[in-house]
Structure 1
Amino acid sequence: MKPFIPQRFESLVFGLLLSGFMSCLVTLIASVLTVGIEPGLFGIWMENWFSSWLVAFPAVLVVAPLVRRIVHRLVITG
């Protein structure tokens, strides 16, 4: 696939995708554990996922730089 997003948006796209995938997976597990595998599970999951993503996306944008700095201090380079 040919890149189409300017590099200056890399951290924003990273946060968008990471928060989307993680919140999607976590809300699926939580929804299944709470409701079980029911006919309305998909709708419940999507509702929970969307509201979780609204929180997760800005949280990742704020937390990711801090985590990168911590990891940089923990990892031996070179």
Structure 2
Amino acid sequence: MFHPRHQHILFAFFMALFMSFLMSGVISYMNVGLPENFLKVWFHAWWTAFVIAFPIVLFVAPMVRRIVNKLVRAVEHPHHS
């Protein structure tokens, strides 16, 4: 297993992996349909997107966390009487 200090890297890796995989598949399908070489086209698009997405997620995730923390209010527990 990994040390907790690597959590942000693992988060970025898997977020970039899944999002680039899914989005490149959708965009590839929208652009070329389902030709015989669709998997080759998709893999190329996915690999390109992942290589770009991984460092971007590493950079953007902390800013997104700060924005979300500012938008989400702490839940106040009602006082029981």
Give the structure-1-normalised TM-score.
0.93
- Aligned to 1:16, the other structure's residue is in SS state helix
The residue aligned with 1:24 is 21
Moved over 6 A (4+): none
TM-align CA RMSD: 0.6
Which runs of 5 or more structure 2 residues have no equivalent in the other structure? Answer: 76-81
Aligned to 1:36: 33
Structure 1, unpaired ranges of 5+: none
TM-score calculated relative to the size of structure 2:
0.89
Identity %, equivalent residues: 35
Q: How many residues matched?
A: 75
Question: In the alignment, is residue 66 of structure 1 matched against residue 43 of structure 2?
Answer: no
Give the superposition deviation at 1:39: 1.2
Q: What's 1:5 paired with? A: 2
Q: Could you tell me how far 1:8 is from its partner in structure 2?
A: 1.1
